[in-house]
Every structure is written in C-alpha cells, then in structure tokens.
C-alpha cells in the first residue's frame, strides 16, 4: 500500500510502502506548559526504514520531536505511530524497549563505569541480568571502548562519553535508534568514527536511525532521507536524492551576448531569475528540463552557449528550505 510521504513547500516528494514505515504522524502539535506557542506545529510526515537526518537550526524542534516520539512529551493535538505502535497508547511502554535513545546532553552516571551503566540500561530495557552484562561487553567493544570500560565515566574524554551514550542506545538491539546530536563536541576524527558507527549499525543490524543534528556535513554523510525543521514546522522532507531533485532546479545560463531588456524580462518564462551578471544568469527553472532553455533562446533570438546545472550542496538546500524567499 502506498503512503503519501510529505511536502516540500507544496511539492510531493515521494511515496513509500507502509510496510517499511518507521514513523508516521499526522497534524502533530506539541506545547510546553511554560510557552504559549506550540513547539511543534501540526506536523504531518512519514519516514521509511533507513537513516533519516533531522536537520534544523537550534530551537527548531528536533529534540522536542524525538521526545514526543519516545513518549516523553504528550502531543496536544494529532496522532502518530512509531514502528506501527500508537504514540502514548497502551503499548507505548513496551515500544520503548524496541527503541534506543542517545540524548544530546551528557546523560551518564558519573560514579559508575561504562560497563556498569550500559548493563544497567540493558536491564532497564528488559534484558535478563546475565544477558545485559554480556551484551554490555559486546556493545562497548563494538563502539571501541575496550579496557577503559571498567573505569568510572567521570574520567572519560568527550569522544569516549559519546560512545558510551551510543552503546547504551544499542545495548538491547533496538529496531530504531534516535541519535540527538551524536557528534557534539567531537573533533573531526571523532566525528568520522561516530558516523562510521552509525552507518555500521544500520548496515549490519538493519536498525532504523533518526539522526538529529544541526551539522549539515554529518547528515549529508550518513542520511538517505532528510527532514528539515524550523520553528516547529517541516520545511522540507523526503529522500536525499528526491529532495535535491525537487529543490535543486537551479541552472546557470551563459549567453554569447548580454541579453537586452526585453529578453531579460522574458527570462521569467523559464523560471525565477536569481542573479544576473555579465551575461550569466542564475535561474530557478519552472521545469526540471534544462533543454527548455535552449528552445526558449532560439525562440527569443538569443545565443545560449552553456547551461550549467547547479548541484546544490546540502547547506544550500537547507538555507533555501529555511529561507525560500531569498533563494539563497
């Protein structure tokens, strides 16, 4: 059964199979008691199994969305499912055993060793004590903490602390993990290792991953789907490839001679002119077909010598999703 995915400022991006749906919610609204404005404003979205990048500036609502999906916050309106289970329904507690959560902040028990606390989180997820202890060793070894796992985490470096947090999210082999800013505070090498682990978890375990970050490079490296949030609203969502295709219709047109005023005005027939300089015109095409530009030039008596597709980087995609009016 096909399931309509979502919107990008009015564009339909893709359709996924319901069997593959990790998360789906409709008209989801979340309010904090202390604030009059909702933190999430009527979100409608569904995401298929894979690595989903949840992108947005600070305060966009990423953490709020993750907490809502975990059942830590109750939606004031709307409904949703995670792994087919209704949010805040009677099965929500059992659902949390199928989810791993790596919070943004340091949620570590400072007076305990990595081994002790990972085993503890495993037991809280429903593992038998012996299984939890065995699994703690395995998962800490997997994330690269070997002998240091017996030391109290208060003496750990930032990278080690992040890996302990990832280990506790993985200890019970969840079907889905929420990673909230997993590369916070890491140096470039630490970031690369952390993202490698995320890719391995998905590739080897088939675990769905929701990765919330404001670091575009991280999301670009690992995610195959993207959701862009800003001010509690979804600005764009869909597969990375589909998103680029939908948002990146920018081309650069080079004419042999500068266009006259009439021709420049007629460029609006092709799309929106973003920038014009010395015979070069940046356009947002109405149609994705660049060949239309040659036909237009022929009809207008202009000599078009080059059409260069502008393959947007993710930061451009993000900025344009956040600020569509500027086209930046």
Partner 1 sequence: MPIYAPTLPPAPELHQGHPPALVLMRFDLTRLWRQKIGRFFGFTFLLVLLWKVARIYIDHLLQTNQAFKPMQDFAKTILTQGADFQADLLNPASYLLWFLVALVGGGLVARDTLYRVRPLMYAHPVAPKDYLLAKLGFASALPFVILLPFALLPWLMSLLLAGLNGPVWATAPLRLLPAMAISSLLMGSLAVGASSMASTPRAGIGWVLGLVLGAGTLASMIHGLTGIKAVDALNPIMLAETWPQLFVGVDHPMVAWLPAVLGTAFHIGLWTFVAARRTRPSEVVI
Stretch that binds partner 1, among 142-150, 251-259, 263-271, 283-291 (CB under 8 A): 142-150
Min CB(111)–partner 1 separation in Å: 7
96 near partner 1 (CB under 8 A): yes
Written as six digits, the tokens of 276 are: 């014009």
Cα–Cα–Cα angle for 21, 213, 158, rounded to 5 degrees: 125
Among left, alpha and beta (phi > 0; psi -120 to 50; other), residue 154 is: alpha
The window from 43-51, 78-86, 116-124, 249-257 that contacts partner 1 (CB under 8 A) reads 116-124
Q: Does 200 bind partner 1 (CB under 8 A)?
A: yes
* Site residues (CB under 8 A) for partner 1, limited to 16-75: 32-34, 67, 70-74
Which x/- pattern, by CB under 8 A, does the window 283-322 give for partner 1? ----------------------------------------
How far is Cα 283 from Cα 57, in angstroms, rounded to an integer?
27
Residues 122-141 binding partner 1 (CB under 8 A) are 123-129, 131-132, 134-135, 138-139, 141
Q: Which stretch binds partner 1 (CB under 8 A): 2-10, 18-26, 88-96, 287-295?
A: 88-96
**CB-CB contact of 164 with 144 (8 Å):** no
193 near partner 1 (CB under 8 A) = yes
Alpha-carbon distance 155 to 287, whole Å?
Answer: 57
Least separation in angstroms between residue 200's CB and partner 1 is 8
Count of CB atoms situated within 10 Å of the CB of 113: 21
Distances (CA, A) of 210 to 102, 176, 186: 10, 8, 19
H-type alpha helices, 90-147: 92-95, 114-124, 129-142
Task: Evaluate whether 3 touches 15 at the Cβ level (below 8 Å).
Answer: yes
Q: What number of chain residues touch partner 1 (CB under 8 A)?
A: 56
Give the per-residue contact string, 150-169, with partner 1 (x = CB under 8 A; - = no). ------------------x-
What whole-number distance in Å separates Cα of residue 53 and Cα of residue 226? 5
Asked if 84 interacts with partner 1 (CB under 8 A), we say no
Which position among 42, 50, 144, 271 is part of the footprint of partner 1 (CB under 8 A)?
144
- For residue 300, give the 3-state DSSP assignment: helix
Please give the Cα distance from 148 to 143 (Å, whole number). 12
Residue of 178, 177, 162 lying closest to 107 (CA atoms): 162
Q: How far is the CB of 138 from partner 1 (least distance, A)?
A: 6
> Interacting stretch for partner 1, rule CB under 8 A, among 115-123, 254-262, 266-274, 275-283?
115-123
The correct pick among 97, 273, 274, 319 for binding partner 1 (CB under 8 A) is 97
Q: Which two tokens mark 144?
A: 């690269």
Residues in the site for partner 1, rule: CB under 8 A? 32-34, 67, 70-74, 93-94, 96-99, 101, 103, 105-112, 116, 120-121, 123-129, 131-132, 134-135, 138-139, 141-146, 168, 170, 172-173, 193, 197, 200, 204-205
């Amino acid at each position: 059964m096909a399931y309509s995915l979502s919107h990008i400022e009015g564009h339909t991006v893709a359709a996924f199979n319901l069997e593959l749906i990790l998360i789906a919610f409709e008209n989801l609204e979340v309010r904090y008691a202390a604030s009059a404005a909702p933190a999430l404003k009527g979100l409608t979205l569904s995401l298929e199994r894979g690595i989903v990048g949840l992108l947005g500036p600070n305060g966009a609502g990423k953490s709020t969305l993750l907490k809502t999906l975990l059942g830590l916050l109750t939606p004031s309106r709307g409904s949703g499912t995670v792994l087919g289970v209704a949010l805040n329904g009677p099965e929500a507690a059992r659902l949390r055993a199928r989810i791993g959560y790596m919070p943004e902040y340091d949620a570590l028990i400072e007076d305990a060793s990595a081994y002790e606390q990972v085993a503890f989180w495993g037991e809280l997820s429903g593992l038998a004590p012996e299984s939890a202890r065995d699994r703690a060793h395995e998962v800490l070894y997997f994330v690269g903490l070997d002998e240091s796992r017996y030391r109290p985490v208060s003496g750990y470096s930032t990278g080690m602390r992040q890996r302990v947090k990832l280990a506790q999210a993985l200890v019970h082999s969840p079907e889905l993990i929420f990673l909230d800013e997993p590369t916070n505070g890491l140096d470039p090498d630490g970031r690369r290792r952390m993202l490698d682990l995320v890719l391995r978890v998905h590739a080897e375990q088939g675990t769905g991953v929701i990765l919330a970050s404001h670091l575009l490079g991280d999301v670009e490296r690992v995610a195959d789907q993207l959701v862009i949030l800003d001010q509690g609203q979804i600005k764009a969502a869909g597969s990375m490839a589909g998103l680029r295709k939908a948002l990146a219709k920018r081309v650069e047109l080079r004419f042999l001679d500068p266009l006259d005023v009439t021709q420049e005005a007629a460029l609006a027939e092709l799309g929106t002119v973003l920038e014009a300089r010395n015979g070069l015109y940046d356009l947002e095409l109405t149609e994705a077909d660049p060949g239309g530009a040659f036909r237009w030039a022929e009809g207008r008596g202009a000599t078009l010598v080059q059409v260069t597709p502008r393959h947007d980087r993710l930061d451009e995609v993000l900025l344009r999703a956040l600020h569509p009016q500027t086209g930046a």
